[in-house]
Amino acid sequence: MVDLLPQTNKDVDNPKRYEGLAWFLNELALAWIHDRVPRDVQPLPDIWRVFFCAALAYLFRALCITVIQVPVPSVNTYCAPQGDGSFFSLMGRVKKIFWSAGIEQLRPRELCGDLIVSGHTLTLMTTILTFKQYAPKRFNYFGYFYNVLAVVALISIMLARKHYSIDIIFGYFVATRIFWTYHSLANSFHQGELDRNPLSQSWWSFIVKYFESDAPPPHLFLNVLEWPSSCPSKLRWHLSM
């Protein structure tokens, strides 16, 4: 099985070779943007709305991974030998995944079992829903383009034997239902009708009150891009509509 994923010094060294450059560019970007961050604007509520929806979806995914186990979808998938299940063994695996940010190009694939629910699908669907909810209305046509890309991506995942079809179907329903439920509850909260919304029976609906207490209603969120002052006025007006 080890021969299925041959490794060379080049495979291991390439990511490390660019770590310094990536770090420098990030710090340079931070130093540059510091003088351009708006100081008199309220925090964007869409950010933590999206983060909460994604976090709840991945919490459900963690539960499913724990209680639902199926064989890997391809005989060519490499799985590292099973360990003794000790705490230090588990933390060692978590450490490897953490420092590589889950990117397989930065580490050899070792762990198997993260199938139901598909994390790829959760991320794709949450991203698309966020764009449709908060992007300026003039950019709606990008939403259709992203839908096509998402379908192509999910089909490619199945063809590559990374997931079963049931993983992707579950991922779609989990991501969409959590996102739509939260925003439905948020709208009801700002209209003073949260208790009348049947979705308020969700066990996590009380969190909506906390998050939305000092935020504008989702339907009043201004989907307008603010362009730099150096842009011609006509171009700024056209693109910001």
**Burial (Cβ within 10 Å: 0-12, 13-18, ≥19) of residue 53:** buried
Looking at the chain, list the stretches that DSSP marks H as alpha helix, in order from N- to C-terminal side: 9-17, 19-33, 45-67, 87-99, 119-134, 140-159, 165-190, 206-212, 233-240
Distance CA 134, CA 145 (A): 16
Higher per-residue confidence, 205 vs 112: 205
Q: Which two tokens stand for residue 56?
A: 């709840």
Chain centre to alpha carbon of residue 8:
31
236 CB-near residues (< 8 Å, 6+ apart): 227
pLDDT one-digit tens code per residue, 35-61: 877 777 666 667 888 999 999 999 999
Query: For residue 125, is pLDDT > 80?
Result: yes
Distance CA 89, CA 196 (A): 49
Distance CA 165, CA 202 (A): 27
User: What mean pLDDT, rounded, does the chain reach?
Assistant: 78
Per-residue confidence (pLDDT) for residue 6, from 0 to 100? 45
Choose the weakest-confidence range: 6-20, 97-111, 157-171: 6-20
Which residues are tagged catalytic? 120, 163, 167
Most confidently modeled range among 76-90, 119-133, 155-169: 119-133
Choose the weakest-confidence range: 100-114, 176-190, 209-223: 100-114
pLDDT one-digit tens code per residue, 58-115: 999 989 888 888 877 777 777 777 777 788 888 887 777 776 655 565 556 667 777 8
